[in-house]
Structures are given as structure tokens and as C-alpha cells.
Amino acid sequence: MTWSAADVPDLSGRTALVTGASGGIGRETARVLAARGAHVVLACRSTRRARAVAAWVGGSTEVVELDLASLDSVREAAARVRDRHGRLDLLVNNAGVMFPSYGRTTDGFEAHFGVNHLGHFALTGLLLGLMTGVPGSRVVTVGSLAHRAGLGGVVADRARSGSGRRSVTAYGRSKLANLLFARELQRRLGAAGAATVSLAAHPGLSPTGLWHGDAPAVLRPVVAAGMRWLAQPPQAAALPSLRAATDPRVPPGAYLGPARRFGSRGAPVPARSSRGARDVTAQARLWELSEELTGVGYAFGPAPVPAEPAVGVCPVTGARG
């Protein structure tokens, strides 16, 4: 049976934090979580936009200022959340940029990698202490079909490159990093016996603010045509994140995305990821690099590397993600 927002269970008494809830898919994710009774922390770069969303969402919400392009801001936001909350049930690492107007973050990292991956790596590490003792708690990291464009993988040399601003591969590598991170986090959480699980989701294709970036001219007609044919509205694009965050039948480490048109639209189901995203050595390497670059360490150490990736296999369909 097709999974929909109506399948999100009652979330009364749960606290969820959604990054980038000021628009697009994050706003929809926050809306549904709040409608199902969760208290939702809208962690956003613009508190003005976030407050407008809070009024629109209704339910129980609060706004926390978070600029993922600044590790100082990430630390301040995490400290504020820790001060206000004794526990966190759901963390949705949703915010993202594509072809932004700036090339590097405040800390000098390539903008896609810095915002989409490093900011979330740091935030998760700083908030995980609120989650690991909470039964049913989940970290959901939002990837993209574009992780397949992350050619050359994630390597240290490119972390501070200034040439990625309009680069499809730079965006792709940041989304590859999202998947590598989600899986390494799951392995480490599992090995530590934590109550929290890590999953990943991708929304397919949706006409959101993400596409308002400074795309290379050659890409614009392709995108316009693709949008007409392949895209789905943010309400549908938020479903993979919502399912990963709330469906008890989805196993730890799973990767969900839309079912139809090459994964661009449709109901949320187990998704396939590239071989590179399943590379456990790359997962472990990225983790070490991210700890080094952000200065954020996690409370638990490396997990044993399995012979076969132990994540992303749906027990129902057998699909590998």
C-alpha cells in the first residue's frame, strides 16, 4: 500500500528539529510533524522567515537561528537547543544549497560541502547527546539523486576549494557526503548500542527555492524541461523524509526516495544509491575528515567494518540502498 502523510503516527510528546524549515521540503516536513503532535524546532538561517513558517504551520513550534555556513552559529544553535530541551526524538538534516551566491563558508569550506555536509555533521554531533538514550529516536539526513554526480568522491583537497560555486559535481559530492555520513553514523550508533538510528532520504525532484541558485547557463533549459516532466510538489517531496523519520517498519540505515520516473517522483520507497555511497572505507574516511575539519568529536568511536554493507537493505523488498 502507498505510504502517505496520513501514515505518520501520533507524535505527541515528541520533539523534532528540522533544519532549513523556512521553505521548500523542510517547511512541509515541519508542517506534517507539527500536525501530528510533535513539538517542532525550526532551525533556520532567517528567523524572520522561520517565524512566518511557524505561524503558518501552527501546532507547537519554536525557532532557533542556525546558519550552517558558520560553525560558530552551529555551536550556538546546538547550545540553545540543549539548554531548552532535555531530549530530542527526531533530527532532520534537511537544509541545503545548490549553486549559492558565495563560494566558501565563513570557515573557508567549499560552500556545498560546508553547508550541506559539514554543518550537519557538526550539528548532529553536538545534539546527539540529547538523543542516544531516547528509544525510537532518529537522525534523518536528506540526500539527492545528484549524489551520483559526486565524481571523484569526497577528498580533503577539495574541502576548501573556491571553485565549486556553480559546479554540479561539487553539489553532487556534498550529497554523496550526506549518504556516506548517514551510513557511518548508523554503523557507529549500532556498534555503541545507542537507542538512536540513522537513515537517509531523498525527495526526488521538486520546484523549490533550491533551484533559484546561480546555475550554469547550459543547465537552465534542461532543468526547466526536467521540472515539467519529472518534478513533484514539496508536499510529495517531503514524504521520503517523513517516512524515514516516523515509519517504524523502516530499518536502521535505510535510504528512501520516490518510487517512479527514475526516482524523481512518487510514493516513498527504499531507494538505490551509487556504489560510491556504499563504500565503507569512504564512509569511515569522511568521518575522520569531518571531525578534523569541524573540531566536533562524537562520543563513540569507529565501528567494525562489515564484509558487506549492513545498511540500506529493505527487509520487505530486499532492495539495496
Q: At residue 309, what are phi and psi to the nearest 5 degrees?
A: -55, 125
Cβ(26)–Cβ(18) under 8 Å? yes
Minimum gap (Å) between residue 206 Cβ and ligand NAP: 4
Name the grid cell of 18. 528540522
Cβ(271)–Cβ(250) under 8 Å? no
Nearer to ligand NAP, 192 or 227 (CB): 227
What DSSP letter does each residue of 165-187 carry, written as one string? Answer: TT-HHHHHHHHHHHHHHHHHHHH
Minimum gap (Å) between residue 120 Cβ and ligand NAP: 9
Nearer to ligand NAP, 132 or 235 (CB): 235
Tell me which residues touch ligand NAP (CB under 6 A). 19-20, 22-26, 44-46, 49, 66-69, 94-97, 115, 142, 144, 202-203, 205-206, 208-210
| d(C-alpha 44, C-alpha 5), whole Å | 23
Name the grid cell of 312. 540500506
40 strand-pairing partners: 16, 61
Nearer to ligand NAP, 151 or 299 (CB): 151
Give the up-direction half-sphere exposure of residue 226: CA atoms within 13 A in the CB hemisphere.
15
Minimum gap (Å) between residue 70 Cβ and ligand NAP: 8
Cα distances (angstroms) measured from residue 247 to each of 5, 44, 152, 226 = 11, 25, 34, 30
Minimum gap (Å) between residue 143 Cβ and ligand NAP: 7
Nearer to ligand NAP, 104 or 158 (CB): 104
Active centre residues (catalytic): 171
Q: Which residue is nearest to ligand NAP (CB)?
A: 24
Nearer to ligand NAP, 134 or 271 (CB): 271
| d(C-alpha 20, C-alpha 241), whole Å | 13
DSSP H helical ranges for the chain: 24-35, 47-57, 71-84, 111-112, 120-127, 168-192, 220-230, 234-237, 239-246, 280-294
Minimum gap (Å) between residue 201 Cβ and ligand NAP: 9
